[in-house]
Structure 1
Amino acid sequence: MLGLVLAGGEGGRLGPLTEGRAKPVLPFGGVYRLIDLPLSNCHHSRVSDVWVIQQYEAHSLSAHLANGRPWDLDRTWGGLAVVHPTTGGTENQSGFYKGNADAIHRNREAIESFDPELVLVLSADAVYRLDYEEVLERHRERGAEATAVTTVKSLEEASRLGSVTVDGSGLVTAFEYKPEEPRSEIVTTEVFVYDAKVLLESLAELEDEEGGLSDFGHSLLPRLVERGKTWAHDLGGYWRDVGTLESYWRGHMDLLEPEPELRLDDPEWPILTRGSQRPPARVEASARIEASLISPGCIVRGRVIRSVLGPGVVVDEGVTVEESVVLGGSHVGADLARAIVDEAFDVTVETAGGDEPAVVAMADAEPD
């Protein structure tokens, strides 16, 4: 079995937060990065061979992944491999990937050489906990060619995702990719299991027919659904796509609920990461903190209410930070409300968001 993490997306909907960094290394929950969640799921699910396919701002992702040690993937044989776009070959084989289906198709020779029975395909765009072993076991029991892990969202959200229709047994009977008017509130979570042979053969056929490939949803999944052996597997828990500023902010607010659906401190399923060594957070006598996550190295002298502070954040006395996400190394010297502050930013002007969170960032600044 081979795990593929598709980590090459530019993350344009996140605006300045993905200027100078790959979306998978965008901080989440204070001390973590988005890619830590699928890699931690792989570790706890005993998926020991994982390839990370990267592209946009690859240097920032490579620095975080290092040799894969935090996720027990630093092995002599197997473990973590980082895959980059290649040059040479035909026009359709060279340069940047045109989508996730194209990324897999253009690495088909390496996948064929590895010779897996199944391919587990993951993204680094969402936050969730999932035991992949359960999905793989059910896939085998059904004799499936493809399994899509699904959840239920509103029709509005389904229009931005992949919407599926299933029968009473869980067989997928229809798939729509980002439809204007979804027929179903059941959506894919960007977690898929494929029969490796069927996957590679189908991609080759589609590439020949269409002269190129882009994302799964455009042609691969509709083709496999037509074959009648694609099944849905209900995730059955918390899942949130954090590919927009609003959803990224809301995902953090979810962590601050009295009983959060996703617990980052679950001792049975800890989130693993590569982190720097920092001293404990310091809370001064002038500080007031309510329902917040405070990372190591923080110095809090003001009020922090329902907010997440990344490592090394300083909040001045007399300042109130409310319902905000402040990434590591920032200095907050003015009030914040419903805001997202990028790494290493000096906040000197009061900032408040409305229906959408306000973003305090410098597009040309290099993140730590």
Structure 2
Amino acid sequence: DRRADITIAAQPVGIEDASAMGIFRFDRGGQIVAFEEKPKRDRLDEIGRSIPAGATFAGHTPDRPFMASMGIYVFSRDVLVDLLSGDGGTDFGKEIIPCALGRYRVNSYLFRGYWADVGTIASFYDANVMLTQPGAPFTFYDPRRPIYTHPRFLPAARFADCAIRGAIVAEGCYLDRCTVEQSIVGIRTNVQNGSTIRRSVLLGADFYEADDDATVRGEHPRLGIGREVVLDRVIVDKNARIGDGARLVNERGVDEADGDGYYIRNGVVIVPKDGVIRAGTHV
């Protein structure tokens, strides 16, 4: 209804997040008058507080004075063709949107629902673990806003004498005499007996592995989480193998490190896709 050529979905953020996002300033009519992608902290004051004095809306608090792009854009077709065919570049945040200001009417749309930027390890981890908390701001189980995924035709998850507290466990998993707390357990995950998983995100596996598979007979641990393993604040990517007795808890409390089969970023231990953690490894 404002006849915008370009509309950018947006939410307010605090100063601690602003430098990782596209920040803009708009006038009281919602038209964007300045935009900068991932400005350095010392640039934020120059860009200015994004929200006009007196403006109020859902999600706006005094400690969230900067308006951030959600990376969702709606273009008029002719405007998009013109911008892409010119010399304005191809990166939306760094080139196209700044180039469009002054040439076209660029407006903001204030999104009032839940949204989280997951562009860093810390934000990805926090957004996932948050889903396991009581009273989380987002849930998969709201009948008014159902979330669908493609069918995989896997059996239901099976638990054999386990202690599960505040966890989301996907289909096709087999958990044997283990403890899972405040964690996400992805499809086809196999957790063997005596293991403890706390505040972790396991992305699961793309396939099942038979006991007589060649990789099992070899030196690698079997697919999934072995016996007597402890995971705390860990992201385990798909098809990873974690051997018996491994302990991944960031014992030294470091913020960043690289190790044999793992990384630490933002204090979170990461086992990459197809990664292998040898039996008895302590991190």
TM-score of the pair, normalised by structure 2: 0.72
Shift of 1:273: 2.1
Larger radius of gyration: 2
Code of the residue aligned with 1:217 in structure 2: it is: G
Shift of 1:362: 4.9
Q: Name stretches of at least 5 consecutive residues in structure 2 with no aligned partner.
A: 51-65, 206-222, 254-265, 277-283
In the other structure, the counterpart of 1:314 is 190
Q: Does 1:332 align with 2:243?
A: no
Q: Is the 8 A contact 2:241 2:275 kept in 1?
A: no
In the other structure, the counterpart of 1:298 is 173
Shift of 1:228: 5.5
In the other structure, the counterpart of 1:206 is 87
Q: Deviations over 1:326-355 (max 9, x none)?
A: 111352221100001111222122101445
Pick the structure with more helix per residue: 1
Question: Compared with structure 1, are the counterparts of its residues 205 and 361 closer, same or farther at alpha carbon in structure 2 (3 Å cutoff)?
Answer: closer
In the other structure, the counterpart of 1:149 is 9
In the other structure, the counterpart of 2:99 is 223
Q: Does 1:194 align with 2:69?
A: no
In the other structure, the counterpart of 2:248 is 351
Name the CA distance, whole Å, in 2 between partners of 1:352 and 1:218. 38
Q: Deviations over 1:250-284 (max 9, x none)?
A: 11012112122222222232222224211111122
Shift of 1:291: 0.6
Name the CA distance, whole Å, in 2 between partners of 1:360 and 1:220. 36
In the TM superposition, what are the counterparts of 1:43-122 in structure 2 within 5 Å?
A: none
Code of the residue aligned with 1:231 in structure 2: it is: N
Q: Which secondary structure state, in structure 1, belongs to the residue aligned with residue 7 of structure 2?
A: strand
In the other structure, the counterpart of 1:282 is 158
Q: Is the 8 A contact 1:164 1:172 kept in 2?
A: yes
- Out of 14, 25, 37, the position equivalent to 1:165 is 25
Q: Is the 8 A contact 1:173 1:228 kept in 2?
A: no
Q: Is the 8 A contact 1:206 1:219 kept in 2?
A: no
TM-score of the pair, normalised by structure 1: 0.56
Q: Deviations over 1:181-240 (max 9, x none)?
A: 333411100111111101211232325xxxxx2311222211222135111111112111
Shift of 1:307: 0.2
Q: Does 1:255 align with 2:147?
A: no
Code of the residue aligned with 1:179 in structure 2: it is: P
Tell which has more relative contact order, 1 or 2 (C-alpha 8 A, sep 6+): 1
Q: Which runs of 4+ in 1 moved over 6 A?
A: none
How many positions carry a matched residue from both structures? 219
Code of the residue aligned with 2:147 in structure 1: it is: I
Name the CA distance, whole Å, in 2 between partners of 1:363 and 1:157. 31
Question: Compared with structure 1, are the counterparts of its residues 328 and 362 closer, same or farther at alpha carbon in structure 2 (3 Å cutoff)?
Answer: closer
